[in-house]
Amino acid sequence: MNLKKLSWAALGLVGLVVVIMGGRLGLDWWNSHNAGHLLDPAVVARAARVVLSGPQAEAEFPPGFPQRPGPKPISDQPKTVLTTTLVNKDGMWVVADKNGFPADTQGLTRLLLELSQEKTGEVVGEGLETLADLSLLLPEEAVGSYTPAEVGTQLTVLDAAGNPIYRLVMGRGRGGDTSGEAGSAGGTYIRFADEKTARLVFSNLHLETDPNRWLAASPWRFNGDQDVIRLELRPAGGGTLVFTRKDPKSEWSSPQGTPAGAVVRNSAGQMGQTALRGLWSGAPLPAKISQIEVELTDGRIYRMTLGGKADAQGRMAATLEAALAERVKDNKDMKAQADAFNRGFKGRLVAVDAYTQQTLFPPSKDLLKAK
């Protein structure tokens, strides 16, 4: 994913609202229900911090990446309160819970756009008893006879001064699914935090609270096929394969033999498209099984070391590193970028899809043409 800055005006809504209203909008705790939609786009325009919090099934990759049996049904998985804080830092959204790692801005845009377009729905009841039945309580309301299991998932938007300007609570789906996702009858129960009225919207909404699922998909920005001039593979079975080319228009060469160009390009391309599925601190890498290193035309070098399987879905644990080629080692700006990359991933594991390893490390016989 291209980690470009997110422009809220790109939602195509803020300018329209300003024109229609013909002046400054009253935004502090805007009564969305009076305007007929869940979220005012002008609140989005002032967003400096977005906090998502609530009970959710445990993360797929606990720290340490232990081997686990097959996945349990959602209803059987233990729930824990997870919180994700997204911060607008100089125009780029980052995940504060993951040391400022770039956030999935496309996912955030989709969520806020969806809420901006969603009608407030029908009033279905009032009072704490109703809210508890629909898993719409606020944490501070879960006292006495009420339990944390009856607490909803909250979306809070704060402005640059740290003031909350919007707070939505999402409960179970109409079909009884307390995850807030699709219920059998369709629809989701919601409330505005400043009132004790339960509402039913007719879309299947979901607020993701696991910070691992808010990470930007790609840890780097390059086109594997067009930008890579050196590819070094150290597969699990041992040995090292090195492929080089003078520039992206040149043919690949290798001291091990004649490269199969298409297969080498696929391997380099997969490195450029690697998607992160999780990021954790303080966990040792399982047994090292393979490593890939690429050098780009501008002299940047990226290295990924893959360990064992992380979970029952076959995702892999990996570490990431950056370096510079000898020809650019004195470039201060590039050195600062590489150092920042390494600080961000030092002592951390990432999770990548299993097919990533399969594409990165095809059999040696496929990488080299038969003599």
Mean pLDDT of 298-310: 87
Which pLDDT does position 311 carry in this prediction? Answer: 62
Check whether residue 195 and residue 290 sit in a common domain. no
Mean pLDDT of 113-132: 93
- The reply to whether 171 falls in a domain is yes
Which of the four pLDDT bands, split at 50, 70 and 90, describes residue 152? very high
DSSP state, residue 239 = -
Domain end, chosen from 213, 240, 269, is at: 213
- The reply to whether 90 falls in a domain is yes
Residue range 18-32, pLDDT digits in tens:
322 222 333 333 444
- C-alpha distances (whole Å) from 278 to each of 158, 237, 316 are 26, 26, 10
Which pLDDT does position 90 carry in this prediction? Answer: 83
Check whether residue 60 and residue 137 sit in a common domain. yes
Domain end, chosen from 188, 213, 238, is at: 213
> Of 82-91, 320-329, 344-353, where does mean pLDDT reach its minimum?
344-353
Check whether residue 35 and residue 137 sit in a common domain. yes
Mean pLDDT of 358-365: 81
Check whether residue 154 and residue 278 sit in a common domain. no
**Per-chain mean pLDDT for the chain:** 79
Beta bridge partners of 187: none
Check whether residue 44 and residue 79 sit in a common domain. yes
Beta-strand ranges (E) seen in 71-177 are: 79-89, 92-95, 101-102, 122-126, 153-158, 164-173
Beta bridge partners of 306: 290, 318
| Residue linked to tokens 């966990």 | 283
| % pLDDT > 70, the chain | 77
Check whether residue 61 and residue 82 sit in a common domain. yes
Among residues 227, 163, 184, the alpha carbon closest in space to that of 28 is found at: 163
> Of 21-25, 158-162, 322-326, where does mean pLDDT reach its minimum?
21-25
Check whether residue 261 and residue 140 sit in a common domain. no
pTM of the complete model: 0.68
| Residue linked to tokens 């380099």 | 268
Question: In terms of pLDDT, which residue wins out, 149 or 155?
Answer: 155
Check whether residue 137 and residue 70 sit in a common domain. yes
- The reply to whether 328 falls in a domain is yes
349/320 Cα distance (integer angstroms): 8
Residue range 279-294, pLDDT digits in tens:
877 667 767 678 999 9
Residue 100 near residue 94, CB atoms below 8 Å: yes
Q: Which residues contact 306 (CB under 8 A, 6 or more apart)?
A: 288, 289, 290, 291, 292, 316, 317, 318, 352, 357, 360
Which pLDDT does position 232 carry in this prediction? Answer: 94
319/360 Cα distance (integer angstroms): 15
Largest CA distance in the chain: 78
- The reply to whether 218 falls in a domain is no
Check whether residue 302 and residue 350 sit in a common domain. yes
Beta-strand ranges (E) seen in 127-262 are: 153-158, 164-173, 188-192, 197-201, 228-234, 241-244
Which pLDDT does position 310 carry in this prediction? Answer: 62
- The reply to whether 268 falls in a domain is yes
- The reply to whether 196 falls in a domain is yes
Check whether residue 154 and residue 293 sit in a common domain. no
Residue range 67-81, pLDDT digits in tens:
333 333 333 344 578
Which pLDDT does position 295 carry in this prediction? Answer: 96
Which pLDDT does position 270 carry in this prediction? Answer: 86
Residue range 29-68, pLDDT digits in tens:
344 444 588 998 888 889 999 999 987 654 444 444 333 3
Which pLDDT does position 183 carry in this prediction? Answer: 41
Which pLDDT does position 18 carry in this prediction? Answer: 32
Mean pLDDT of 183-210: 88
Question: In terms of pLDDT, which residue wins out, 308 or 251?
Answer: 251
- C-alpha distances (whole Å) from 173 to each of 52, 152, 189, 201, 209 are 18, 11, 6, 10, 17
| Residue linked to tokens 């496309």 | 106
Which pLDDT does position 12 carry in this prediction? Answer: 37
Check whether residue 320 and residue 173 sit in a common domain. no
- C-alpha distances (whole Å) from 138 to each of 31, 124, 180, 202 are 18, 18, 15, 22
Residue-range definition of the domain harbouring residue 123: 8-213
- C-alpha distances (whole Å) from 235 to each of 245, 309, 364 are 21, 15, 9
Domain end, chosen from 192, 213, 234, is at: 213
Check whether residue 202 and residue 302 sit in a common domain. no
- The reply to whether 117 falls in a domain is yes
Q: Which residues contact 260 (CB under 8 A, 6 or more apart)?
A: 366, 367, 368, 369
- The reply to whether 75 falls in a domain is yes
Could you give the number of structural domains in the chain? 2
